[in-house]
Structure 1
């Protein structure tokens, strides 16, 4: 009996340390990079971006920019929930893409490093911020690339642009999944365990269904041509989101590119396919 109690005690201690370790790693890898850590990601590459801290209304936010030639089109990356401008480092450090495009990525409000602001839970606000961010770029040279929650933000921009690229866009309220893990944020007893950045993501996720209902029946009102790239094994933002869009647009305005067996991490796992689609725009 004593041996069994001792075994339980040791097992409990090991389990607690493992749990603390997993939680620490979870917080570390999901937190936005500092400016220094972000720039360090480009150390091995000849083309270095610049970081700017910009202001929109009463909010400060961070942008990551590579502007080489104002005659080139500009890719503007919009991250999802949870995310940051660092999600697109692989794209912004690729030599072939850098030959063809200027690039801008930015932290949405609430997702910056040590951000003192809260997410705005508003596609309309996010759309207005994007339009302010690109106001000095000729519209015919702007290509919006919206990933996940960034998809409806890009799609909400009605101004005629060069192109809109959607990556696994969350655009249809009826198929928006609510992961069980959101309960850790909903329950007051466990909310303190949720890292700040995930609290912001949880708030945005919960309100997303309601906010989408203000837009989803009017996506077709955009004048822009759209390509949606989506994996048919995506359970976080189901493939049916892109099928919903496909049913709203004429064939000449909307193209759906299906990646077989790809999940929601396609922005990283399917980089070669997405990169080629972007390069096709420069031909």
Structure 2
């Protein structure tokens, strides 16, 4: 009986170890930035052309996905800014949507530290990110541009002092007092586990730890942004609390700012509430 129990114990332990290895492998695979040729393959079934290029800002390379070979300046241009952790593909459903593509130019890009170049090397600077964004769209009239900033992409959009057609925020992380520090950040802090974490998660952790202090430089001047602003936020968001958008509502005039509350929705609203957000984007085009 003892031998049998011992054998069962060994088999169980082996299965647990194998399962753990598989889960770690899947985690790394999920966290690795997708290769350019794989992204191109995902979009090749579309009936409209795309442009996936590499651009350089200062010394940093990054990828830009445009759902048109050339910007049509008679149409508005939506520029998507992903969060942390995030990638050029966070807005894939929107980028692939035929109705959106028939009405606007669509652009998405990898923020520094999250793409195939300089992976893990985030700059920990909202101002740097905003400068890169402005450089990316410098040849598009700002009155034709709609910025869509998700999570950590929100303050990047807000920090720009240019007047855009619209700034749309999705669960924006804009208020330092409401920065949530998950326990999992300890895996990045501990020397024994830091290098075991995929580089994109190291980037997210590094950015998370410095974001609170960086926000303090900007959050008292969000009301100086010259654009009209719409924030869409779920009131059940445990990652970037709903109070972030309430902070904007309390500090920006109602003539300039509007808040759309998604009842019972968490931080994954970009994916879970695609139809609703797409509908709002279409409304802002006119």
Which TM-score tier does this pair reach, normalised by the shorter chain? over 0.9
Distance 2:74 2:48 in 1: 18
Which residue does the alignment assign to 2:9?
8
User: Quick check: 1:74 aligned with 2:74?
Assistant: no
Write out per-residue CA displacement over residues 231-259 of structure 1, whole angstroms, 9 at most, x where no aligned residue: 11110111111011100111111010011
Distance 1:75 1:258 in 2: 22
State the distance in 2 between where 1:241 and 1:116 align: 28
1:10, distance to aligned residue in structure 2 (A): 1.1
Counterpart for residue 240 of structure 1: 243
**Secondary structure of 1:32 counterpart:** coil
**What residue in structure 2 maps to residue 125 of structure 1?**
128
Q: Is the 8 A contact 1:81 1:201 kept in 2?
A: yes
Report the CA distance shift for 1:80/1:116 in structure 2 as closer, same or farther (over 3 A).
closer
Deviating more after overlay: 149-158 vs 189-198 = 189-198
Q: How does 1:87-236 map to 2 (within 5 A)?
A: 87-115=90-118, 118-236=121-239
Q: Report what 2:261 is aligned to.
A: 258
Q: Which residue of 2 aligns with 1:28?
A: 29
Contact 2:88–2:109 under 8 Å retained in 1: yes
Shift of 1:114: 5.0
**Number of equivalenced pairs:** 283
TM-score by structure 1 length?
0.97
Residues of 1 paired with 2:132 and 2:44: CA distance?
30
Q: Deviations over 1:167-194 (max 9, x none)?
A: 0000111111111111111000111221
Q: Give CA-to-partner distance per residue, 1:191-232, whole Å, 9 cap, x none.
A: 122111111111001111111111111111111100000111
Q: 2-side partners of 1:117 and 1:129: how far apart? A: 17
The one of 261, 265, 270 equivalent to 1:267 is 270
Distance 1:235 1:70, change over 3 A: same
Alignment partner, residue 276 of structure 1: 279
Q: Does the 8 Å contact 1:59/1:117 carry over to 2?
A: no
Stretch moving more, 33-42 or 61-70? 61-70
Contact 1:54 1:61 (8 Å CA) reproduced: yes
Could you list the runs of 5+ residues in structure 2 that have no partner in the other structure? none
The answer as to whether partners of 1:63 and 1:85 remain within 8 angstroms in 2 is: yes
